[in-house]
Amino acid sequence: MSDTISLMRNIGISAHIDSGKTTLTERILFYTEKIHAIHEVRGKDGVGATMDSMELEKERGITIQSAATNVTWRGHGINIIDTPGHVDFTIEVERALRVLDGAILVLCGVGGVQSQSITVDRQLKRYGVPRLAFVNKLDRTGANPFKVRDQLEAKLGLNAVMAQYPIGLEEKHEGVVDLVTMKALYFDGGAGETIREGEIPESLVDEVQKYRELLLDAASMFDDELMEGIMEGEVTEEQIRRAIRAGTVANELCPVFLGSAYKNKGVQPLLDAVTGYLPSPGEVENRALDIDNNESEVVIESDAKKPVVALAFKLEDGQYGQLTYVRIYQGTIKKAGDLYNVRTRKKFKVGRLIRMHSNHMEDITEAVAGDIVALFGIDCASGDTFCDPSLNVSMTSMFVPNPVISLAISPKDKAAADKMGKAIGRFVKEDPTFRSYVDEESNETIIQGMGELHLDVYVERMRREYKAEVDTGAPQVAFRETITVRADYDYTHKKQTGGSGQFGRVAGYIEPTGNDENYEFVNEIKGGVIPTEYVPSVDKGFRTAMETGTFIGYPVVNVRACVNDGSTHPVDSSDQAFQTAARTAFRESYMKAKPIALEPIMKVSVEGPSEFQGNIFASLNQRRGIILASNEDGMFSVVEAEVPLSEMFGYSTVLRSLTQGKAEFTMEFAKYGKVPQSIAEELREKYEKARKEGK
């Protein structure tokens, strides 16, 4: 592994909303001399944090798009991706994690492990990303890093171990004790830029010694030399660091660091930990699928001399054209060099190659394995693999959840229609969880996404960035339908027109799958009563029929369709005839299978002061919510529930007024559940009425 690669780190900063991720990133940029002044997220100077480059981000004080930047710390190049904490922008987190080698999990010293921290941790585990924990906001009233460490173990199942000990908490928070060097660290100067080492305050010596022993005990599991040293009573800092690194890289240890980013405390030691404990690209095994060899897995090596393999993980439409963020896994990308897009099978030349710093950029001539850079003006989609023309491998794609909410939007005039079309085209390409289509019946443009805030932000961006004035309808829920009992079918499609006609007979049954399979096709044809070439046509007919059910007019899920008999005509049978036969057979047997309506059920987590817990319970019960758990932690309580999405519209306004604006909630899709009878009847009536009017 070359020195360049071993000195490189690709890290993400992820956490629950409002844990101070963007504030932390701002400090990192300042201490690594990328910026010369610190701006706050909701800055009085009106500048906003450096990484929140969108106007909307500055106004709302949240991160919407993950921003990439590159910094240098003590000879190490670090690519940092600041990811959103809000669950509606989960794809941004997924995309970032797909290309990262390590992460900093930021936790609030007061709130601890919150609902979104759990989601983020689950995503980190999905991609096997090693992490450090940073307990932030220790200057806040009620901060308790020891409680947060316990929660990391209990709620996330992490082998979390304190690498530092706090010197004072709340308004008395002065600094930290490094449990490796056994030195007290204070952060002096106007912005905490001067680190002053001192002796451990006498009152803390016993506690510090206790936590150092816990650290050594946990780290020694990953290094025999350290274990021997402990037994002999002589350990070196080098041994401890090596052991902590081994445990962290193996994803079996999570060192916990402390501080207050807002008060400029504890950030530089965290940067030391990033370079010291998180893996370089060369220490992470990446795999790709060999397309020429039946998609068998091949290991990609972080070697700058081998043929290029890179993944386009994020697209952005900047003022100079499309910007494609790329993670290079193998080889070297050079300006004016040739690359091949595996999906489109097209070759292209690398034009501008740039390194990003939030929304600023610097031109470079080449970038090597392990690096994250951006390319200009390349026609591609998010998730495409680029490789050397001599290779044909694809990096595995990332997990993209299906949208759960839709909204009808219409332009106010002809000029707005063109701008709206452009905006939607760009957003769909940028964000795989944002989708759009034109409803055939109403001719309305429908946009779909992960939640109200997700769609709100895109509508607002249409107005601001594209000057497209649009009207929006009421949000629509993505209902589904399914069947509850088995029903047999036997249908013959016969049509005689001049010349050859159409003939196809299919028989079998449909039944509920009883699992999460949305659709299963079972072929039990014997003796060739339906020729092999027509069996896929039957499958296709069923799939088409399931696109729109006849109970409430929504897609059908969780159905097993079996074909076990049929007949053909030597002249009149065709692909089309069997598709039509299967489609009609499905529709005729569908109502006999006792269909029911399903609705998306969201996992909702409400956090707020305990005094409002009764109000929170009542508000969720009114919305057909089922309370799953309620945890009270001093003055703070967390209520977890499952609530139908259709009942959650406008909940943020209601929650604010019930709790004097002190509570917040997050929600994510959990499952599809049965719609109550009364609501199902309303949906059925609405569908029948629309069908009659349509006729």
pLDDT per residue as tens digits for the range 200-217:
999 999 999 999 999 999
Q: Identify the pLDDT of residue 58.
A: 41
pLDDT at residue 96 above 60?
Answer: yes
pLDDT at residue 62 above 60?
Answer: no
Instruction: Give dist(CA 428, CA 458) in Å, integer.
Output: 10
pLDDT at residue 634 above 90?
Answer: no
Tell me the fold of 405-476: Alpha-Beta Plaits (3.30.70)
Q: Identify the pLDDT of residue 135.
A: 94
Q: Identify the pLDDT of residue 64.
A: 31
Instruction: Give dist(CA 360, CA 137) in Å, integer.
Output: 29
Q: Identify the pLDDT of residue 39.
A: 65
Comparing 159 with 452, the larger pLDDT belongs to 159
The pLDDT-based confidence of 564 (bands split at 50, 70, 90) is: very high
The pLDDT-based confidence of 259 (bands split at 50, 70, 90) is: very high
Q: Identify the pLDDT of residue 301.
A: 84
Nearest partner of 137 among 102, 104, 108, judged by Cα: 108
pLDDT at residue 119 above 80?
Answer: no
Mean pLDDT of the chain: 84
Phi, psi of 120 (to 5 degrees): -60, -40
The pLDDT-based confidence of 318 (bands split at 50, 70, 90) is: low
pLDDT digits (tens, 9 = 90+) for 508-522: 999 998 776 788 999
Question: Nearest 10 degrees: CA dihedral of 570, 572, 573, 577?
Answer: -170
Section 344-365 average pLDDT: 80
Residues facing 664 on adjacent strands: 607
Number of other residues whose CB lies within 10 A of the CB of residue 394: 19
Tell me the fold of 286-394: Elongation Factor Tu (Ef-tu); domain 3 (2.40.30)
Phi, psi of 573 (to 5 degrees): -75, 140
The pLDDT-based confidence of 95 (bands split at 50, 70, 90) is: low
pLDDT digits (tens, 9 = 90+) for 413-458: 888 888 999 889 888 877 778 889 887 656 788 898 877 777 888 8
Task: Give 465: exposed, middle or buried? Use CB within 10 Å, 0-12, 13-18, 19+.
Answer: middle
Tell me the fold of 598-678: Alpha-Beta Plaits (3.30.70)
Q: Identify the pLDDT of residue 42.
A: 46
Instruction: Give dist(CA 537, CA 581) in Å, integer.
Output: 9
Question: What tokens were used for 576?
Answer: 């089309």
Q: Identify the pLDDT of residue 320.
A: 64
Asked if 66 contacts 92 with a C-beta cutoff of 8 angstroms, the reply is yes
Q: Identify the pLDDT of residue 560.
A: 93
Section 334-352 average pLDDT: 87
pLDDT digits (tens, 9 = 90+) for 476-496: 788 899 999 999 999 999 887
The pLDDT-based confidence of 41 (bands split at 50, 70, 90) is: low
Q: Identify the pLDDT of residue 57.
A: 39
Beta pairing, strands 480-483 & 595-609: antiparallel
**Rg, C-alpha atoms of the chain:** 29
Question: What tokens were used for 645?
Answer: 């999405």
pLDDT at residue 585 above 70?
Answer: yes
| 380 Cβ neighbours under 8 A, 6+ residues apart | 312, 315, 324, 341, 343, 344, 386
pLDDT at residue 239 above 90?
Answer: yes
Strand ranges, E, within 237-379? 254-258, 286-290, 296-300, 309-318, 321-330, 332-334, 338-341, 346-349, 353-357, 360-363, 366-368, 372-376
pLDDT digits (tens, 9 = 90+) for 517-552: 788 999 998 888 899 899 999 999 999 999 989 999
Tell me the fold of 3-283: Rossmann fold (3.40.50)
pLDDT at residue 354 above 90?
Answer: no
Parts of the chain belonging to CATH 3.30.70.870: 405-476
Comparing 322 with 107, the larger pLDDT belongs to 107
Strand ranges, E, within 202-337? 254-258, 286-290, 296-300, 309-318, 321-330, 332-334
| 682 Cβ neighbours under 8 A, 6+ residues apart | none
DSSP 658-691: HTTT--EEEEEEEEEEEPPHHHHHHHHHHHHHHH
What letter does residue 129 receive in the DSSP assignment?
Answer: -
Parts of the chain belonging to CATH 3.40.50.300: 3-283
Q: Identify the pLDDT of residue 150.
A: 94
pLDDT digits (tens, 9 = 90+) for 652-665: 778 878 887 777 78
Parts of the chain belonging to CATH 3.30.70.240: 598-678
What letter does residue 607 receive in the DSSP assignment?
Answer: E
Global pTM reads: 0.66
Angle, helix 575-590 to helix 535-547, in steps of 10 degrees: 50
pLDDT at residue 59 above 50?
Answer: no
Cα 508 to Cα 473, 527, 565, 588, 647: the distances in Å are: 42, 15, 6, 12, 39
Provide CATH code, domain 481-593: 3.30.230.10
Question: Nearest 10 degrees: CA dihedral of 21, 23, 27, 32?
Answer: 50
| 275 Cβ neighbours under 8 A, 6+ residues apart | 9, 73, 74, 76, 78
Section 137-149 average pLDDT: 92
What letter does residue 419 receive in the DSSP assignment?
Answer: H
| Number of residues assigned to the chain | 695
Q: Identify the pLDDT of residue 473.
A: 83
Residue spans of alpha helices (H) in 611-671: 613-622, 651-658
Instruction: Give dist(CA 449, CA 435) in Å, integer.
Output: 7
Task: Give 91: exposed, middle or buried? Use CB within 10 Å, 0-12, 13-18, 19+.
Answer: buried
Q: For residue 333, how many C-alpha atoms fall within 13 Å in the half-sphere facing its CB?
A: 31
What letter does residue 532 receive in the DSSP assignment?
Answer: G
Instruction: Give dist(CA 494, CA 158) in Å, integer.
Output: 64
DSSP 73-135: ETTEEEEEEE---SGGGHHHHHHHHHT-SEEEEEEETTTBS-HHHHHHHHHHHHTT--EEEEE
Section 385-395 average pLDDT: 87
For residue 179, how far is the Cα from the chain centroid? 34
Nearest partner of 596 among 654, 662, 549, 562, judged by Cα: 549
Q: Identify the pLDDT of residue 246.
A: 95
Residues facing 523 on adjacent strands: 563
3 state SS of 631: strand
Parts of the chain belonging to CATH 3.30.230.10: 481-593
pLDDT at residue 65 above 50?
Answer: no
